[in-house]
């Protein structure tokens, strides 16, 4: 089997070694404005594959200047015969920070072999409306992407959370993810401390290890589950340019309900950890109607026959939906949420009625497993925090054969030590 880490193809060494910031500094040191250097290295992150579907997947890449992008892909290393580009209302997408291309294939994409792809970018400069200057094209390496099989007999999902821009933790998480080699990666919120200027939002999200050679979501797809820190700061609204959300909904971009073999994965967005009327938000928060929209959506998807019939179902929510005795539920102006009382009231009854086995959460920076009870038979796995000694990975393994299906969820630390585990069979 070809490892999903293997890739072929090269780009200039300078394009890998030189980040966008370094490129801009180089331009300035030579007395040029960045916009006057159309051929400088543009690729400023590894590609990040997102939101897989039977016939499609998305790819985001950070860029260091105004450019357009397209994806070349195929089903053998040397034959990238298909091309996908992004356009809106007839205008090809261009941006100076991040570009996203959704690959929409005519037929069902293969899951039993790799999809080889690379992202190609080309500089763009506007001299006037009818005078446009293009630079030389630049490309990422060619990656071997494997998409999870909707009819999988065996599947591994890994969920990480609360990385908070901690570079040593992120680097070690990358290594552990490569060892575990999941079919699907979930980033379960709090990628950052905040998105205030002058932080480069796209770098935090698409190049978290600050190294173009470290790419935890170039050869497997990623699902993003929003955290409360991910909505803070004047540049927080830019996050949707890097993590574009599911292709079906503009209003609920971080809600997805996907089935892979015996497992259903549902993502939920708990929003902020304080009520909307809290003075710190200065009238900018409207999370309660957003959660109510999600509640209506959750009831609809939970009733769909192909999801309801799955032996196992898990949900993600950055802020836990269950708390411990004495925990603040975040529904008053006093303090902040240790668990989401709003989300618990709106969503837990539906998850319970639909037979969900578990919720994967974070937020608390301390790992734990909340066992099922008679009142609430949905387990809750809470991942750790941003420091290396706190950080964890939640590993979900499912298998299915003719007579039996199994679900195994465990939390491990950065050394692979088992911290919590629960198993189911049907």
pLDDT tens for 158-169 read 999 999 999 999
- 269 and 182, same structural domain? yes
Whether 341 maps to a domain, the answer reads: yes
Whether 298 maps to a domain, the answer reads: yes
pLDDT at 40: 75
Query: What does the alpha-carbon distance between residue 37 and residue 125 come to, in Å, rounded to a whole number?
Result: 9
CA dihedral angle for residue 243, residue 248, residue 251, residue 255, rounded to 10 degrees = -70
CB 225 within 8 A of CB 254: yes
- 320 and 236, same structural domain? yes
- 187 and 138, same structural domain? no
Token digits for 422? 């629960």
3-state SS, residue 231: helix
Which pTM value belongs to this model?
A: 0.90
- 277 and 205, same structural domain? yes
Q: How does DSSP assign 362-391, residue by residue?
A: -SSSS-EEE---SS---EEEE---SSTTT-
Query: What does the alpha-carbon distance between residue 345 and residue 341 come to, in Å, rounded to a whole number?
Result: 6
- 196 and 288, same structural domain? yes
The residue whose two tokens read 């298909």 is 82
pLDDT at 39: 57
Omega cis (within 30) before 198 = yes
Closest Cα partner for 226 from 270, 286, 162, 164? 270
Sheet holding 392-400, edge to edge: 98-104, 56-62, 48-50, 222-224, 184-187, 154-160, 392-400, 405-413, 418-425
- 398 and 311, same structural domain? yes
Query: What does the alpha-carbon distance between residue 96 and residue 99 come to, in Å, rounded to a whole number?
Result: 8
* Whole-number Cα distances in Å, 406 to 213, 382, 396, 397: 35, 21, 11, 8
Task: Give the count of beta carbons closer than 10 Å to the beta carbon of residue 301.
Answer: 17
CB 284 within 8 A of CB 329: no
- 113 and 72, same structural domain? yes
Whether 1 maps to a domain, the answer reads: no
Whether 209 maps to a domain, the answer reads: yes
271: left (phi over 0), alpha (psi -120 to 50) or beta: left
Task: Give the count of beta carbons closer than 10 Å to the beta carbon of residue 426.
Answer: 12
- 175 and 30, same structural domain? no
CB 405 within 8 A of CB 311: yes
Quick one: which H or E segment has residue 204? helix 201-206
- 190 and 265, same structural domain? yes
- 203 and 182, same structural domain? yes
Between the two ends of the chain, the Cα-to-Cα distance in Å is 30
Chosen domain end from 126, 145, 164: 145
- 175 and 103, same structural domain? no
pLDDT tens sequence for the chain (426 residues): 334 433 333 333 333 333 333 333 334 334 444 444 445 789 999 999 999 999 999 999 999 999 999 999 999 999 999 999 999 999 999 999 999 999 999 999 999 999 999 999 999 999 999 999 999 999 999 999 999 999 999 999 999 999 999 999 999 999 999 999 999 999 999 999 999 989 999 999 999 999 999 999 999 999 999 999 999 999 999 999 999 999 998 899 999 999 999 999 999 999 999 999 999 999 999 999 999 999 999 999 999 999 999 999 999 999 999 999 999 999 999 999 999 999 999 999 999 999 999 999 999 999 999 999 998 999 999 999 999 999 999 999 999 998 999 999 999 999 999 999 999 999
Based on the structure, what is the number of domains in the chain?
2
Q: Using the Cα atoms of residue 187, residue 188, residue 189 and residue 190 in order, give the sign of their dihedral.
A: negative
What CATH code is carried by the domain that includes residue 187? 3.60.21.10
Whether 2 maps to a domain, the answer reads: no
- 336 and 213, same structural domain? yes
Chosen domain end from 116, 145, 174: 145
CA dihedral angle for residue 221, residue 224, residue 225, residue 226, rounded to 10 degrees = 180
Query: What does the alpha-carbon distance between residue 298 and residue 245 come to, in Å, rounded to a whole number?
Result: 16
> Could you tell me the residue range of the domain that residue 106 belongs to?
7-145
Whether 139 maps to a domain, the answer reads: yes
Token digits for 116? 């080889």
pLDDT at 14: 31
CB 103 within 8 A of CB 60: no
Whether 388 maps to a domain, the answer reads: yes
What CATH code is carried by the domain that includes residue 69? 2.60.40
CB 378 within 8 A of CB 360: no
Chosen domain end from 85, 118, 145: 145
């Amino acid at each position: 089997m070809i490892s999903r880490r293997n890739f072929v193809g090269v780009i200039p060494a300078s394009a890998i070694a030189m980040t966008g910031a370094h490129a801009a500094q180089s331009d300035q040191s030579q007395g040029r404005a960045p916009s006057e250097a159309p051929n400088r290295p543009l690729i400023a992150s590894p590609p990040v594959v997102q939101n897989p579907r039977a016939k499609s997947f998305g790819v985001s890449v950070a860029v260091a200047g105004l450019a357009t992008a397209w994806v070349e892909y195929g089903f053998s290393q040397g034959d990238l015969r298909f091309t996908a580009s992004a356009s809106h209302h007839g205008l090809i997408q261009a941006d100076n920070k991040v570009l996203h291309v959704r690959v929409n294939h005519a037929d069902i994409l293969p899951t039993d072999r790799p999809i080889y792809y690379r992202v190609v970018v080309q500089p763009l400069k506007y001299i006037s409306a009818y005078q446009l200057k293009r630079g030389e094209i630049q490309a990422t390496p060619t990656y071997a992407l494997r998409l999870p099989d909707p009819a999988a007999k065996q599947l591994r999902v890994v969920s990480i959370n609360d990385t908070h821009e901690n570079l040593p933790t992120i680097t070690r998480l990358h290594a552990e993810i490569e060892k575990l080699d999941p079919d699907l990666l979930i980033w379960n919120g709090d990628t950052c401390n905040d998105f205030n200027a002058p932080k480069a939002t796209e770098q935090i999200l698409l190049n978290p290890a600050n190294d173009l050679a470290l790419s935890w979501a170039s050869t497997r797809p990623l699902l993003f589950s929003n955290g409360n820190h991910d909505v803070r700061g004047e540049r927080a609204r830019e996050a949707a340019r890097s993590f574009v959300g599911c292709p079906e909904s503009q209003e609920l971009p971080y809600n997805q309900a996907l089935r892979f073999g015996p497992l259903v994965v549902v993502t939920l967005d708990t929003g902020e950890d304080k009520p909307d009327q809290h003075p710190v938000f200065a009238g900018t928060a409207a999370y309660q109607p957003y959660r109510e929209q999600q509640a209506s959506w959750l009831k609809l998807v939970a009733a769909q026959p192909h999801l309801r019939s799955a032996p196992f179902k898990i949900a993600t929510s950055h802020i836990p939906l269950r708390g411990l005795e004495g925990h603040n539920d975040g529904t008053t102006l006093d303090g902040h949420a240790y668990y989401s009382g709003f989300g618990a009231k709106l969503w837990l009854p539906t998850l319970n009625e639909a037979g969900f086995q578990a919720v994967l959460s974070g937020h608390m920076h301390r790992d734990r497993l909340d066992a099922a009870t008679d009142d609430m038979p949905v387990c809750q796995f809470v991942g750790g925090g941003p420091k290396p000694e706190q950080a964890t990975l939640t590993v979900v393994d499912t298998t299915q054969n003719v007579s039996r299906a199994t679900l195994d969820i465990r939390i491990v630390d950065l050394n692979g030590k088992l911290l919590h585990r629960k198993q189911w069979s049907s």
